[in-house]
Amino acid sequence: MIAPTQVDSQVSSQVNGPARAVHSPAGRGLGLGRLFARHPVVSRLVSLGLFFLAWEIAGRVPISYAFPTFTDTLYAFVTMLADGSLVMAYGSTLQPLIIGIAISGVVGVVLGIVMGLSRMAEWLVAPVFVVLQSAPMAALIPLITFVYGIGLVAKTLAVIMLALPVIVLNGYKAVRNANPSLVDMCRSFQGTRLQRITKIIIPDASPVIFAGLRLGLAAGFIGVILAELLITPTGIGDLITYHRSVANYAEMYAAVVSIILVSTLTLAALEAFEIRVLRPEKRRG
Amino acid sequence: MTNSAAVIHSNVHPMPQAASDAAVEVRGICKKYNDVEALRMIDLDFPRGKLTTLLGPSGCGKTTLLKIIAGLIEPTSGEVRVNGRPVTGPGPERAFVFQDFALMPWATVMRNVAFGLELRGMGKAERQSIARKYIAEVGLAGFEDKYPHELSGGMRQRVGLARAFAVNADVLLLDEPFSAVDEQNRRKFQEDLLRLVEKERKTFIFVTHSIEEAVYVSDRIVLLSRRPGRVSQIIEPKIDRTASPDAIRRDQGYLDTVEEIWQGLKHYVD
């Protein structure tokens, strides 16, 4: 509808002068882009909406009898939420996750900072975590059960094993790569070693430390689900296993999607916390 | 070329009385990085209350010398004395202005400028009132609550300068402070610097690779040779600083000195 007049105006303005030809299409084209730029939530909702639409179509085709539609999954999700089974499941899944992440966060950040500051600690500790990070953790989880059984300890340990290495290594790299010019600046104004660490190195390293925490949290979610699938089915792992075994595919998908949702929201909350508390300058454009 | 420094005066000028009142004395400084000799036997006096520039081709060790004076780098041999006392590390009588500004991106202009005082444990109200004064002095009044990324390059370096002024050091060490600032801002900044030199009555040691900049702002220019850096010439431009900035840049003495230094440095460039 618009296209022909646009071409017309381009042609005529090329005769009269190129100014309009440059500006008019650009101004029109930017409308949607500007909407997205100003309200990033809108573009995210649109992208999610398109994904759910594709899911619904794929479910209706259907691509497999074990593949439910989006609406069926949503219905199963609401039902599970209402009858309390989802809440119960999260009650038991979140326990090892929260304990494991808390331990990994504190130990990992401290250990990473110490390793970044001291060559000695680096030599002693770094190789262990480099190996741990590259090891396929899922293969080690059965070993945990031999030592720690099938209870909360084993599951917490699975979370720590997945989350800790990335947190430690990020903290260590962040501290080691602290801006040398800022460190020199602090020295030149006679900052003590403690001031240098607390006022320059840690704030400068905090974005990368937090990136490590976010990756660690994501890895922790993997760890807890692996543990629940591989050690003993409890919580969300149990929901997934049970509904798969009785062919309740909509319920199974609802459980899977719910854990993705929870992990995404938790990561977003962590990011928001970081920007609010630690990097005030990022709050302004 | 001999190791001894040749003192050349661009105009008829009495011998400098620097030796009698030098804020900074550099004696026999050598610096080697493994096998690379960066500085060889540097002997220099920096007269109190004057702006002395270290000028030379890139890689001549001028920044290394400045950081040795600052106490940030240890010399391989030799000694630096500030106000007669030997330098063993950074000290409160010296303040450094960094080439890349070295501003904390997570801190406001106010906190950055007051940072030297914060490290000394000064109370918040007191250090902020001092910082506010110097923020105004470098022309940034009203920007106290901005973050560095909200400022232009020239404004960021003004923050760096205010931070150095705020600790009230006798000696200000400026490491190519304008090299990351665009040309228009640089000229304005040079003019402001001259005004501040006049007003603050401190000893300035200034590193640059720009001949025009050196001649425009300096009371004294130390030419360093290419690596290993040695003092090859000391020039005292005789320019009427009371004239307007534009008049200075057209002044015959200014132009002659620029030409003289270029002739001296030309053979280092290939």
Interface test with A, best of B101, B119, B163 (most A CBs within 10 A): B119
- The Cα of A279 is separated from the nearest Cα of chain B by a number of Å equal to 6
| Paired sense of beta strands B85-86 and B94-97, if any | unpaired
Interface A-B: count of C-beta contacts within 8 A: 58
Give yes or no: residues A98 and A181 share one domain.
Answer: yes
Give yes or no: residues A198 and A130 share one domain.
Answer: yes
Nearest Cα neighbor of A198 from A223, A173, A227, A178 is: A178
Nearest Cα neighbor of A212 from A173, A176, A178 is: A173
Interface test with B, best of A179, A188, A199 (most B CBs within 10 A): A188
State how many domains chain A has: 3
Q: Tell me the pLDDT tens digit for each residue of B71-88.
A: 999 999 999 999 888 988
Is A187's CB within 8 Å of B90's CB?
Answer: yes
Contact by Cβ (8 Å): B49, B202:
yes
pLDDT for residue B12 is more than 70:
no
Q: Tell me the pLDDT tens digit for each residue of A31-76.
A: 667 777 777 788 888 998 999 999 999 888 888 888 899 999 999 9
Q: Which residue has the higher pLDDT, A245 or B238?
A: A245
Give yes or no: residues A116 and A222 share one domain.
Answer: yes
Give yes or no: residues A49 and A137 share one domain.
Answer: no
Determine the average pLDDT of the residues in B204-217: 87
Q: If DSSP states are collapsed to H, E and C, what string results for chain B?
A: CCCCCEEECCCCCCCCCHHHHEEEEEEEEEEEECCEEEEEEEEEEEECCCEEEEECCCCCCHHHHHHHHHCCCCCCEEEEEECCEECCCCCCCEEEECCCCCCCCCCCHHHHHCHHHHHCCCCHHHHHHHHHHHHHHCCCCCCCCCCHHHCCHHHHHHHHHHHHHHCCCCEEEEECCCCCCCHHHHHHHHHHHHHHHHHHCCEEEEEECCHHHHHHHCCEEEEECCCCECEEEEECCCCCCCCCHHHHHHCHHHHHHHHHHHHHHHCCCC
Q: Which residues in chain A (125-184) have CB-CB distances under 8 A to chain B?
A: 179, 181-182, 184
Q: What confidence tier does B269 reach under pLDDT thresholds 50, 70, 90?
A: low
Give yes or no: residues A176 and A126 share one domain.
Answer: yes
Angstrom distance (rounded) from CA B103 to CA B112:
6
Q: Tell me the pLDDT tens digit for each residue of B111-161.
A: 999 999 999 999 999 999 999 999 998 889 999 999 999 998 888 999 999
| Residues of the domain holding A16 | 1-38
pLDDT for residue A199 is more than 80:
yes
Give yes or no: residues A27 and A119 share one domain.
Answer: no
CATH 3.40.50.300 in chain B, residues?
6-93+169-266
Give yes or no: residues A139 and A170 share one domain.
Answer: yes
Give yes or no: residues A176 and A122 share one domain.
Answer: yes
Nearest Cα neighbor of B160 from A234, A188, A62 is: A188
Give yes or no: residues A117 and A147 share one domain.
Answer: yes
Give yes or no: residues A24 and A81 share one domain.
Answer: no
Give yes or no: residues A226 and A274 share one domain.
Answer: yes
What's the pTM? 0.78
- CATH number of the domain to which A232 belongs: 1.10.3720.10
Return the CATH superfamily for domain B6-93+169-266.
P-loop containing nucleotide triphosphate hydrolases (3.40.50.300)
| ipTM reported for the complex, 2 dp | 0.85
Give yes or no: residues A147 and A257 share one domain.
Answer: yes
Contact by Cβ (8 Å): B153, B181:
yes
| Closest CB from B89, B102, B116 relative to A181 | B102
From residue A252, alpha-carbon distances to A62, A237, B140 in Å are 17, 10, 61
Contacts of B91 in chain A (CB under 8 A): 190
Determine the average pLDDT of the residues in A85-98: 91
pLDDT for residue A17 is more than 90:
no
